Amino acid sequence: MNGAYVAVDIGASSGRLMLAQITKNNQIQLQEIHRFTNGFKMVAGHERWNIDYLIHEILTGLEKVKKAGFKQVHLGIDTWAVDYVLVDHQGKKLCDPISYRDKRTAHAIADLTSDFSKDYLYEKTGIQFQDFNTLYQLYEEDQALLAKTDKIMMIPDYIGYVLTGQAATEVTNASTTQMLNLRGGLFDKDLLSKINVHDEQFAKLVEAGTYLGPVMTDWMDTFDLPITDVITVATHDTASAVVGTPAVGHDWAFLSSGTWSLLGTELNVPENGRQAFHENYTNEWGAYGTYRFLKNIMGLWVAQCVKHGYQDKYSFSELAAMATKEKPFQQFIDINDERFVNPKDMIAEIQTYCRETHQTVPTTPGEVMMAIYANLALFYANELQKLNKILGCSLKTLNIVGGGSNISLLNQMTSTLSGLEVVAGPNEATAIGNVLVQMISTGEVKDIVAGRKLIKESFELKQYQPEANHYEGVLARYQSFLEHQD
Ligand code: ADP
Ligand code: LRH
């Protein structure tokens, strides 16, 4: 066996430590070492992440790595994007980070862009307008806290800092702030000045694949850890997911399907023209000079809330099995409607939406889940058409990765509605992308092309082909429904 690599991958709903090695017969072997739940809670007036708990879980996971017999490992950290920790001059966090689903930024886009145009901002950054972007969060930030802030650290950068004492701002995640200048490649001083922030408040920008440093001896004294060298990977989970997508050729799109559905393609040159702006597509920076041209779709967050709504009586696979027995397309739902961002009761919200739009109201768990899956598949198919139009391309394959790639019903509906071949898996693409960047940095894998080939040969992928003449006219009726909602 070669080197041992640990991926710390924390999504909005769960975190895990995955251990990877390249075997003698040249395959990536991936093993789950530790898994823990994640979520935000209302504390001191805001929805907040418990960052100390997450760090404790990482250290617990690393102890398990040592117990499994690994004395020396490399480690990379990726998490969800846009959120940050304010760090004071003593290097301590000023408070727990606020979640992007907190309501503090509800009016921030309109307020901040009242004295300059949105076109101007999009032209500079190429980043989508989402009220949760770091730009708007910092705009709404407590000024007394900002005055005490030495460094603003994105979540994975902060975790890397706590573990190693070294601070860096990694670009794939930093681009989601909507504060990086596409041309200059640095924080845009003009934008920063509008939110009372300076570029010295960010640690130096680094590319994915940069060595960060060893885990500090203080931690080694408190926990029984292996010798651990941290590499700054593609720290945005979606960037790691795209690295970990086993795609070949050029005509492919990706769907990173977890709490969010991130649907798009990988570009070498950003696309920030009129159509992309109009459709609110984003150009997030990727590893190795690429861009993730994508749309944020509400995703399986809706399913997660529904599962909680049924008091977690059913597992995700039980809910999916119930949905499979129901008829699809009994109602059209604009799944990206703001009302689904953080409602009190997701099941009631879906039902009210259907009532208000004079459609069939789903009542049983199976009906509710089918309504969600069918409308996700419709949304995906509609966006895939838009992608072809904006980019002037003709996509052939959709690679679905992440937890959502386990849902056969959703994969098949997506293939049929879009007319594309769907390749599903791996479900741990994010962790795989995370370790792949580490392996490229240590020289164990040559480059991303070789890496993606390796993934394809190492993990079982499922193929779905469009079913003939199925769902005739449904996509067109859905598109007309969306137009009338606007
Ligand atoms: P994140 O990293 O954003 O926390 P994941 O990529 O782990 O999310 O995906 C988790 C989601 O995948 C769950 O919310 C669930 O909806 C879905 N999922 C995973 N496995 C299954 C399954 N076997 N059946 C149905 N849904 C599943
Ligand atoms: C997915 C994700 C996504 C962001 C959102 C905040 O986990 O990182 O790419 O838009 O969380």
Local structure of 304: helix, strand or coil: helix
- ipTM value > 0.85: yes
Q: Ramachandran region of residue 443, left (φ > 0), alpha (ψ -120 to 50) or beta?
A: left
Question: Helix 448-458 and helix 429-442: axis angle, to 10°?
Answer: 130
34 is in an annotated binding site: no
Concatenated DSSP letters for 63-124? HHHHHTT-SEEEEEEEE-SS-EEEE-TTS-BSSPPBPTTSGGGTTHHHHHTTSS-HHHHHHH
pLDDT of residue 256: 98
Among the bound ligands, name the one nearest to the CA of residue 130. Answer: 2
Residue-level pLDDT at 436:
98
Residue 1: predicted pLDDT: 56
Mutate which of 406, 408, 409, 428 for ligand 1? The one with the most ligand atoms within 8 Å of its CB, which is: 406
C-alpha distance from residue 210 to each of 201, 220, 358 (Å):
20, 23, 54
pTM of this structure: 0.98
Q: How far is CA 436 from CA 75, 137, 275, 421, in A?
A: 11, 32, 34, 25
User: In 3-state terms, the chain is what percent helix, strand and coil (to 5)?
Assistant: 40, 20, 35
* Cα dist from 132 to 82, 100, 137, 176, whole Å: 7, 5, 6, 10
Question: What is residue 438's three-state secondary structure?
Answer: helix
Q: Is 237 a catalytic residue?
A: yes
Say how many residues make up the chain: 486
**Token pair for 19:** 């251990």
- Dihedral sign for Cα 126, 130, 136, 138, please: negative
Mutate to test the pocket of ligand 2, among 176, 257, 304 (most ligand atoms within 8 A of CB): 176
Task: In whole angstroms, give the CA distance from residue 61 to residue 72.
Answer: 14
Query: What pLDDT does residue 470 have?
Result: 83
Kindly state the helix (H) or strand (E) to which residue 55 belongs, with its residue range.
Answer: helix 51-67
Q: Is 270 in the pocket of ligand 1 (CB under 6 A)?
A: no
pLDDT tens for each residue of 94-121: 999 999 999 999 999 999 999 888 999 9
DSSP type of residue 236: B
> What is the whole-number distance in angstroms between the Cα of residue 304 and the centre of ligand 2?
15
Rg (CA), the chain: 22
Question: Which residues in the chain show pLDDT less than 70?
Answer: 1
Catalytic residue among 9, 83, 96, 237: 237
